[in-house]
Structure 1
Amino acid sequence: MALALAIQFAVIAPAHAQEAPAPAEESVAADGAAEPAGEITVTGSRIVRNGYDTPTPITVVSTQDLQASAPANVADYVNQLPAISGSSTPANNQRGLTSGAAGLNTVSMRNLGSGRTLVLIDGHRTVASTMDGAVDTNLVPQGLIKSIEIVTGGASSVYGSDAVAGVVNYILDRDYTGIKGDLSYGETTYGDDNTYRATLTAGMKFGGGRGHFLLNGTIIQRDGINGVPREWADKGRYLTQNPAYVPGNGQPQYMPANYAGLNVVTGGGIIVNGPARGVYFGEGGTLNHYDYGDNYNPAGNGEWTIGGDWKVNQHIDGTSLQPAERMRGIYGRLSYDIFDNVNVYGEFSYNRSYGLNWGGRQTDRGNIPIACDNAFIPTALLAQYPSLACGTRAPGTTSFSMGSYNADYPTRESDNLRQVYRYVVGAEGNFNLLKTNWKWDAYYQKGIAKNRISLISANRVKLSYAQDAVWNDDHSQIVCRVTRNGSTDPLADGCVPYNRFGIGVNSQDALDYVMGNPWTKQRLQQDVGAINFSTEIDNPWLKPIGLAFGFEHRREAVSGYTPEFAKSGWYSGNFADTVGHYNVNEGYVETLVSLPLNVEFNGAARLTSYQLAGEVVTWKTGFTWSPISDLRVRVVRSKDIRAPNLSELFVAGGGNTNALLNPWSGANARYRGVPQGNLNLKPEKADTWSLGVVYRPSFVPGFGLSVDFYDIKIKGAIDSLSAQQIVDRCFEGNEDLCQQIALSMPDNLAAPRYAYGDGWNRTTGPVPGFADFWVYTVQYNYVGLRAKGLDFEVSYQTPLDRISENLPGTLSIRGLANRAIDRITDNGTQAPTDIVGQNTGSLPTWKYRVTANYVVDDFTMQLTGRGFSGGVFNNNYVECTSGCPASTSINRTISDNHLPGAFYVDAYLSHKFGLGGVNGDLYLQINNLFNKDPALVGAGPSDTSSPDPGTNRSLYDYLGRTFRIGLRFDLGG
């Protein structure tokens, strides 16, 4: 086992109650009240100490914080904190159908991704829920959470890989005795998204107090919202390609617009070329002529209509505004003091999470070929446009092309079942050696995540067969051409003709033939064994010297199974089995040393040996200095790492089907994205600086202020270009990236047969239409990332009788804010991009949360204001309305680049009561008190943006006013 030195600062020493409240980076309750005296674990260190003295900023979320927020899920609260951005939620990832990420609640700090934020439960790692290392926070036993400690800085030397942006540690109340529960119900002001939540916890001592048993159960059911039943979503807001734009005419290329729609899709199909262009088919196959609106310019970009018949292009009814969730969890812990100084324990948890999500209707954007002898071509259409019939053309040749959002078959749907098992056995205690008391703990943990991803999707091959419908030889029946021709393809067996002309024109047999349920299973397993020691060594001149060290072994593995039918040919699906594993051995050492002049030094070092990626040393040094008793200055410098995850190493095939802008034709085209793993990946390396001050003036009791600057610079970050970026760079001259484009399915996905140079080149582009091609996305250590900003916290608590002796109760105020300065990505193929302030993403320039809490007798009232600053669509866009410069793939021109910020108010009321020995708490929580609608952002223009609801669900409140009523009770012990 490789020795890993890691000086960590997670100390377990007595913490003394403070008279004045501290800011949140210290171990205090949300309302500013100090934690009670007793031993506490401070995340960010393995040395037991008072949380007030930690050099690394730590935001503490207490039980009171969570109770006053009363979230349907604890992740809903955590993701509102200013330091958290870029997290995956069921709503903002509802299009992630095939990745297994649909339904996940993850945590991302500094917008660096959930894979660079380490999630712990009681200081222990837990198995990831997906191959990319994301941990689903749904699996935390929510009724047992005592606090959440968020380290807002690198901590790899303390906890190992992945703690680049920080650590989120869920602290459980493992010593609870008695019976307590929390029952609540919530819904929106529109009567939807009905949510039920119940937690029940029981704890008891036995064996004369030497043993302790703990059991917790959690049930969460969220009905979600299918479709987008909100008035704000009915305005057809998209980021369109300006219909008047022609390269060189001085018009902006992009134009945010209301009442817009993609005129290449309607529910029952629309003809997009030829003499019948603009004919679309409605209920029962009725013929209609499309109104392209006043802004339509066939000489420019013809895919977007603004005005006219824009409404017939809308299909957000096939999208989940809020996906449904079903979660069940059980957690048990048994511990016993086998000796006075040795405690053994075992833990078990099982979580079952089921997510149901509508991912948007399948769009065929003008790429449906209709043969001249198609038997479903309406007679009325041929009467108006007789040239559409075969005539002198050979039967089977294309007569025209259509586009459709396929209203006759179901929307794309994912049903994800995730089961996570966690087993822990361990022991902890203390002993005396060389007149020094040592604490130790050792544990083994096995975590298993079983994922079943099941989709409802159309099969592309079957649909191509079914829509190519012709008359049989005696002209008595409509059949599939492959049937008439006697095809031997097994997928042609039982082919039922599919009518492309209208809504409600297809039989159930036709739908059953083209639709299917591709599925796959994944199994992730994590095994961890660790032992840790800590002590304090007497120092006759200053405070004792803290020392800790330990060793850890970890194994990560993935395996899976996909039935053959689900591996290819689907619009959504095309799963591939990923198999692989790697081992990690590491050891660490840490120290804490007091120096003269009120200076304290703490340092950590860790040596980590990865089976595939080699050995890496991480370290951390920090100083705190108190020039006066009211002021503390702190600085930390660290080297942190993130190791490549199972997906980045081993993924082979699978991927997504989507659309992008074909730069050769200027039209949108469908593609199949195929991710490829890379066994040559190395760990990412990050250099982190943190500098801050904490001010707690003695002359203002109850007041605290902290300001912390952070600068995280990552080298060799693992990433891949998107399919759109690959195609755009190929078009602009990058020959290497052209090699990642294929025009047909390779024989071997693991060894792709690239088609560049085989019938096309960069100048002329691929085959006409570019309608069916493959783009390979390969992971490399080639990206530089930088996150820089400021964290602010202010807190104040006072009994109101300090102001006037007649005023009852206690008032506490707490404010958190983040000012993002830089979040830069440099992939070496283009100018670095900065996403700070792009309100199409999740990192606004300012993000803040302010809470005012008033407690009088048994009543608690709290108001929370939360929000973020205004921003732009994209920092690289050039805003102009006329005389615009040339628009490029990086610096697009846009008519209006502004997006507004938002401010929301939440309210909480609770009343404590006692009844027959039961302590209870009735509460009401109202989020978005004034029912403020989200800003209309509008996705687009080159992706399949038309199924999106028209706002950014990572930032804006999209549900409207929500109510939650509940009852907490505690029988005590």
Structure 2
Amino acid sequence: MPGDDLGDEGATPKGDIVVTGSRIVRDGYAAPTPVSVLGAAEIAAQAPANIADFVNTLPSIAGSGTSATSSGSLSNGIAGINSISLRGLGVGRTLVLVDGQRSVASSIGGVVDINTIPQDLVERVEVVTGGASAQYGSDAVGGVVNFILNKNFKGVELKVDNGVSTYGDGMNYRFSGSAGFSALDDRLHVLVNAEYFHQDGVDTINRGWNNADYFQINNPAYTPTNGQPQRLVGSGFGVSTYTTGGLITSGPLAGTYFLGNNQTAALNFGTRSAVSSPWMIGGDYKVTMAGHRGTNSLLPTEERIGVFNRVAYDLTNDIQIYGQFSWNRYEGQSFYQQTPSTGVTIQPDNAYLRTYYPTLAAQVTAPFTIGTSNNGFPAPGSDNRREVYRYVAGVNGKFGLFGRTWKWNAYYQHGMTKAHEELTNTWNVARMALAQDAVIVTSANVGSSGLALGSIACRSTLTAPTNGCVPVNRLGIHGGPDPKALAYIYGAGQPYRDETIKEDVAAASASGELFNLPGGPAAVALGAEWRKEQISGYVPTEYQPVRNANGTTTNNWLYGNYLPNFGEYNVKEGFIEVDLPIVKGINLNAAGRYTDYSTSGAVQTWKVGGTYTPLPDIKFRATYSHDIRAPNLQELFASGTARTNSVIMPANSPLGAGAFQFVESTIGNPNLKPEKANTWTAGAVATPRWLPGFTMSFDYYDIRITDAIGSITSQNTVDFCYSGSTAYCNNIVYNGGALSQIVIQPFNFASQHETGFDIDATYRTDLSAISADLPGSFSISTAITHYIKNVINNGIFPIDYAGVNGGSLAGTYNAPHWVYRVSAFYKVDPVTINLVARGFGSGVYGNDYIQCTSGCPASTNQYRTINNNHIPGATYFDASISFKFSAGSHDGSLTFVVNNMFNKDPVLVGNGPDGNNVPAYAQTSRQLYDVVGRVFRVSAGVKF
């Protein structure tokens, strides 16, 4: 991997090698920045359903977004997107390029969907694990991932891939075709590619490992002085605030839950307290968990169609013009278990209470509240549709200057994403309130409504006979609500929003050699770029939240409640890079860029580096850079998407201790400024002459980010507010004595410091060099990344995310301390065998947790105690065998792949009380562990 291709068949492509770590273009140039190159052979050997699945197995990549990690996202617009995050710094700090050019984002958060890149045309993938903002602009804080396409492809190639899990689900298939030809004496080259992909979804309920009821809760017995841990991880826990058929939570009948007709029971709450709400230990926890392990998607059902076309024409021997067009369409469906409802008011004269539970109804004289898992209601979901367009027109050329050949290029790109996000099975809050208030029509209440006596109707219909309300039963287990009632509460339409993201780029650059130095010719690259980013949205008024006079919003819908987003900014940039071979074996490299943002003003980025080669066997390299990440459209202009959430309030809050629902509103901040990062790397590359074919590199990195853009969670807002940081209390809104809203907004208030190192080694040999009787060739490559620390300071106290394998801290920024990948190839024509071992070491729920079971110190907001702070690592084994064959003038290939050969289940992870700690979510860390299981894949291709 150290600047070389991983695959056994990864021969060096013809033409110039443009290494992403530098704008200098010349044969044999090795930039001081660490670069890993993934060849087409390595990618083909794994036959991935999408190329991102393969790239994300690299140890230097952590915290990326995949279909598995985003499948439960109902209303944030990222469902189904495959993205890349280098160093666990977040997808926004990794710059994704296609042939060295930016690509339009697929979401308002600036995320480039790797699925939009034509997989069959990828010649290689270059991964730079060091800051590159001076060369390529904003976002290259963690590094750059550059997908280089085979623009000179000739012939016709057809491929088909198919995959399925060992459980017979998750079926996916891909059909693709590429065609390239030249004409007009090879001056004209036309390239076309098209592909179709389909995947069946997989739900959490289809995996037995997810039924263990394994969670992390607040210890109900904890006090600061009794020596017990504040948090408990384990099984045998359950919620205490709802059941499938409804649990009475107020009044003299509290603790009674509804079963079938006229059947109720008293719930055994086991062990619980205000600090553990809404959780309990033991008791009837299986009753409260029954039917609520959910239909949350492990993988979404999705369909993708992609078309790519490129036409290039040589005007002269020195000038080529080209035009490029790509179009991608994505449609995916994800599902999520219904959100439980608490505080649902049932009136004494409720029709279903009196009809199905007459014995209990006789005891009811006043309204009471229930909690219900809503398990009988259809699972809500999201239908995401995206169309991504990219148009590029450019010209490449060369000219003579200073008696040397210089290269230049210029291009204009227009990119556009049209996104449609529509929710399904999401009820209207006001209609649900009317429908659940059902009564039996009697002579005393019928009035002039004309309703039949003895029938069940909405109370509101008695006085408004034409209001269309259809009563719904929220009590007991009776086979699910009436379809007519569902049609009423869901309404004629479901919440949706349309967004259009546009990106326009105009850029020009040139590079060449200036003069000779003792170590070789000095070279320079320089250029300028203009870029404009826009977002515009549309949400029908009826699907928007209500804007209240005090600035808060009230949700009309259970999910969604979108507001349209609008905003734009432009960037003007200029850069220069120089390479100076001072003497033989010593190379210096420097780059600088001036950037002017319309929103935040001017900023400068720069980079210096060098290589020292004292012997042909070893080269030392080092860089120091000042990089930036500019705020994206979402961080700047988000208008306030609202969603229902819940937090745990402490005893000193106005509401006392307990779990409370509220509306969480996330808004943008147009006053944000770019993040700043200082990064240095130092390492060495060894290519010993006494071991031909062997290359090894070691690189240490240190990244410090200041003015980091961040926002804290609603739970953190509450914790900080009531522990003395009163500034956070301004974001908590109460209305009529109830928790109404918590506002989340990004600011340049955080900092981050990450350190670690990479070790990469590759060995290739023809086995005949060992023994003339041994046929074929062998190669093995090893990549290891050690994340030493990744400390984020949110202005209150620092948290180290390195080594966090799961729990409430798991997410964008976490990565295990040790991540590794070993890949071995054996090739003897016409067969190639590939074996891969990939995995990561054990970790913790949090570096700020103190593990203890007795004699524990008192927990603080920074350091909490927990009974188990260990999460095991995992190693997965993959294997493939490929056959190449010829049939006349046609060349073909057939590849069989098994991923996760031993069908290793994911480790159970108890997500924290302030995280996704609900039964519907997978009880593991999706970003780390394989949640699907063993997968069989077969790929066939023919070229003619």
With normalisation by structure 2, the TM-score equals 0.93
Q: Give the alignment of 1:300-379 within 5 angstroms.
A: 301=277, 303-306=279-282, 308-310=284-286, 312-314=288-290, 315-364=292-341, 366-378=342-354
In the other structure, the counterpart of 1:864 is 836
Q: Distance in 2 between matches of 1:284 and 1:336?
A: 77
Select the residue among 48, 58, 71 that pairs with 1:81: 58
Q: Do 2:685 and 2:695's aligned partners in 1 also have CA atoms closer than 8 Å?
A: yes
Q: How does 1:183-198 map to 2 (within 5 A)?
A: 183-198=160-175
Distance in 1 of aligned mates of 2:238 and 2:911: 12
1:282 to partner: Cα distance: 3.6
User: In 1, Cα distance between the equivalents of 2:119 and 2:599?
Assistant: 36
Match of 2:553 in 1: none
Aligned to 2:797: 831
Shift in Å, 1:729: 1.2
Deviations 1:582-624 (A, max 9, x none): 1110111111110125110111000001011100110010110
| Residues 27, 34 of structure 1: 8 Å contact kept | no
Choose from 494, 510, 515 the match for 2:485: 510
Letter paired with 2:461: T
In 2, the alpha carbon distance for the partners of 1:388 and 1:908 equals 67
- C-alpha deviation, 1:318, in angstroms: 1.8
Give the drift of 1:469: 2.3
CA contact (8 A) 2:520 2:583 kept: no
CA distance in 2, matches of 1:704, 1:344: 39
Q: Which amino acid aligns with 1:833?
A: I
1:6 maps to none
Pairwise CA distance, 1:275: 3.2
C-alpha contact (below 8 Å) 1:319/1:361 kept by paired residues? no
CA change 1:963–1:309 in 2 (3 A) is same
| Cα distance between partner residues in 1 of 2:893 and 2:287 | 49
Segments of structure 2 that go 5 or more residues without pairing to the other structure are 447-452, 546-555
Matched, 1:582 2:578: no
Aligned residues: 909
Equivalent-residue separation in structure 2 for 1:582 and 1:135 (angstroms):
18
Distance (whole Å) between structure 2 residues aligned to residue 51 and residue 167 of structure 1 = 20
Partner of 2:102: 125
Aligned residue identity for 2:486:
L
- Who is 1:854 aligned against? 826
Alignment partner, residue 598 of structure 2: 611
Cα distance, 1:380 vs structure 2: 6.8
Look up the match of 1:429: 397
Partner of 1:784: 751
Aligned residue identity for 1:821: I
Letter in 2 for 1:375: A
Aligned partner of 1:499 among 465, 470, 473: 473
> For the Cα contact (< 8 Å) 1:27–1:51, is it kept in 2?
no
Question: How has the CA–CA distance of structure 1 residues 132 and 51 changed in structure 2, closer, same or farther, with 3 Å as cutoff?
Answer: farther
Which residue of 1 is the match for residue 370 of structure 2?
A: 402
Residues 373-426 of structure 1 deviation map (CA, whole Å, 9 limit, x = unaligned): 333224675634754223xxxxxxxx3221112122211201100100000001
Report deviation, 1:36. 4.9
Paired residue type of 2:345: P
Within 5 Å, which residues of 2 pair with 1:727-738?
727-738=718-729
Identity value in percent: 41
Aligned with 1:41: secondary structure?
Answer: coil
Q: Is the 8 A contact 2:218 2:276 kept in 1?
A: no
Residues of 2 paired with 1:713 and 1:388: CA distance? 63
Is the Cα–Cα contact under 8 Å of residues 520 and 584 in structure 2 kept in the other structure? no
* Structure 1 residue 268, shift from structure 2 partner: 2.1
Identify the range of structure 1 (321-330 vs 667-676) with the bigger mean alpha-carbon deviation.
Answer: 667-676
Aligned to 1:465: 434
Is the Cα–Cα contact under 8 Å of residues 259 and 311 in structure 1 kept in the other structure? no
Bigger CA drift: 451-460 or 93-102? 93-102
Secondary structure of residue in 1 paired with 2:484: helix
1:636 aligns with 2:623: yes
Counterpart residue number, 2:43: 66
Aligned to 2:196, the other structure's residue is in SS state: strand
8 A contact 1:589–1:604 mirrored in 2: yes
**SS at 2:353's partner residue?**
coil
Assess if the C-alpha contact under 8 Å between 2:262 and 2:356 holds in 1: no
Which deviates the most, 619-628 or 938-947? 938-947
Aligned 8 A contact 1:153 1:166 in 2: yes
- State the SS of the aligned residue for 1:91: helix
DSSP 3-state at the match of 1:782: strand
Equivalent residue for 2:549?
A: none
Q: TM-score, normalised by structure 1?
A: 0.91
1:230 aligns with 2:197: no
Deviation, 1:628, is 1.2
Contact 1:228 / 1:949 at 8 angstroms: preserved in 2?
no
**Other structure's SS at 2:804 match:** coil
> Secondary structure in 2 aligned to 1:709?
strand
Compared with structure 1, are the counterparts of its residues 158 and 468 closer, same or farther at alpha carbon in structure 2 (3 Å cutoff)?
same
User: Which among 264, 269, 273 is matched to residue 292 of structure 1?
Assistant: 269
1:253 corresponds, among 225, 230, 250, to 230
Residue matched to 2:888: 916
Could you list the per-position Cα deviations for residues 488-533 of structure 1 after superposition, in whole angstroms to 9, with x for gaps in the alignment?
Answer: xxxx932222211023252111111222510000000000001111
Supply the distance in 1 between the matched residues of 2:900 and 2:389 (Cα, whole angstroms).
Answer: 36
Tell me: CA distance 1:738–1:498, structure 2 relative to 1, closer, same or farther (3 Å).
same
State the alpha-carbon separation in 1 of the partners of residues 680 and 19 from structure 2.
Answer: 20
1:666 aligns with 2:657: yes
Instruction: Find the counterpart in structure 1 of residue 878 from structure 2.
Output: 906
Q: 1:962 to 1:533 in 2, by over 3 A?
A: same
Aligned residue number for residue 262 of structure 1: 239
Deviates more, 1:887-896 or 1:622-631: 887-896
| Matching residue of 2:528 | 551
Aligned mate of 2:932, from 953, 959, 966: 959
Query: Using a 3 Å threshold, how does the CA distance of structure 1 residues 275 and 486 change in structure 2: closer, same or farther?
Result: same
**Aligned twin of 1:702:** 693
**Structure-2 change in CA distance of 1:722 and 1:818 (3 Å):** same
Q: Secondary structure at the match of 2:839?
A: strand
Q: Does 1:686 align with 2:653?
A: no
In the superposition, relative to structure 1, how do residues 547 and 676 fare at CA in structure 2: closer, same or farther (>3 Å)? same
CA distance in 2 between counterparts of 1:964 and 1:36 reads 28
> Tell me, which stretches of 5 or more residues in structure 1 are unaligned?
1-23, 391-398, 745-758, 760-766
How far does residue 301 in structure 1 lie from its aligned partner after superposition?
Answer: 4.7
Tell me how far 1:251 sits from its aligned partner.
2.2
- Partner-residue secondary structure (3-state), 1:440: strand
SS of residue paired to 2:74: coil
C-alpha distance 340-884 of structure 1, shift in aligned 2 (>3 A):
same
Once structures 1 and 2 are overlaid, which stretch shifts more, 370-379 or 381-390?
381-390
Query: Alpha carbons of 1:889 and 1:509: their partners in 2 closer, same or farther (altered >3 Å)?
Result: farther
Tell me, yes or no, if the aligned pair for 1:326 and 1:353 is still in contact at 8 Å.
Answer: yes
Deviation per CA, 1:411-450, whole angstroms, max 9, x where unpaired? 1201100100000001111122342322111100000000
SS at match of 1:164: coil
**Aligned mates of 2:688, 2:404 — CA distance in 1:** 37
The aligned counterpart of 1:20 is none
SS at match of 2:16: strand
- Kindly state the Cα deviation for residue 862 of structure 1 after the two structures are TM-superposed: 1.1
Q: How big is each residue's C-alpha offset from its partner over 1:897-934, in whole Å with a ceiling of 9 and x where there is no partner?
A: 11100011101111111112111111100001011111
- Give SS of 2:430's match: helix
Other-structure match for 2:454: 476
Which residue matches 1:168? 145
Does 2:859 correspond to 1:884?
Answer: no
What is the one-letter code of the residue matched to 1:832? Answer: P
CA distance in 1 between counterparts of 2:141 and 2:81 reads 21
Partner of 2:449: none
Aligned residue number for residue 417 of structure 2: 449
**Structure 1 residue 241, shift from structure 2 partner:** 2.6
Measured in 2, the distance between the counterparts of 1:134 and 1:112 equals 14
> Hey, what does 1:115 align to over in structure 2?
92
Counterpart position of 1:873: 845
